[in-house]
Amino acid sequence: AQSVAQPEDQVNVAEGNPLTVKCTYSVSGNPYLFWYVQYPNRGLQFLLKYITGDNLVKGSYGFEAEFNKSQTSFHLKKPSALVSDSALYFCAVRDMIKAAGNKLTFGGGTRVLVKP
């Protein structure tokens, strides 16, 4: 069965500093990995995905993520955080075996608080 772990419930960072949100995954086949962000009272917004190819993936709003197969990780990064980046971030994996359908399995979420 596929699973995702986000080991930090909350990450605090000062505005202008680098931001990292950690994610590790477990799948039986090749993983397709995704990051989403959720602002209060809103749905999840897609940030970026890793399917294949370059391990460094660039996405929306200046975010990027690095896929590391040996460590089964897909950490989200932003070189310089903004106060407006404060939100709930979810990592998700899609296990590419037929029995799983196309469902996304999400981690528990990491709340990011960027302080001015």
Partner 1 sequence: DSGVTQTPKHLITATGQRVTLRCSPRSGDLSVYWYQQSLDQGLQFLIQYYNGEERAKGNILERFSAQQFPDLHSELNLSSLELGDSALYFCASSLPGGDTEAFFGQGTRLTVV
Query: How does DSSP classify residue 55?
Result: S
Handedness of CA 79, 83, 85, 87 (dihedral sign): positive
Contacts of 70 (CB under 8 A, 6+ apart): none
> Of the two residues 46 and 61, which places its CB atom closer to partner 1 in the complex?
46
Binding region for partner 1 (CB under 8 A) out of 11-19, 66-74, 78-86, 104-112: 104-112
The site string for partner 1 over 14-43 (x = CB under 8 A, - otherwise) reads: ------------------x-x-x----xxx
Q: How far apart are CA 67 and CA 27, in angstroms?
A: 14
> Judging by DSSP bridges, how do beta strands 44-50 and 31-38 pair with one another?
antiparallel
**Distance between CA 33 and CA 19 in Å, rounded?**
19
CB of 75 to partner 1, least distance (A): 19
Compare residues 40 and 116 and give the one whose CB is closer to partner 1. Answer: 40
Query: Which residue matches tokens 């528990």?
Result: 108
Residue 5 near partner 1 by CB under 8 A:
no
Select the residue interacting with partner 1 from 76, 104, 112, 114 (CB under 8 A).
104
* List of residues contacting partner 1 (CB under 8 A): 32, 34, 36, 41-46, 49, 51, 90, 94, 96, 100-109
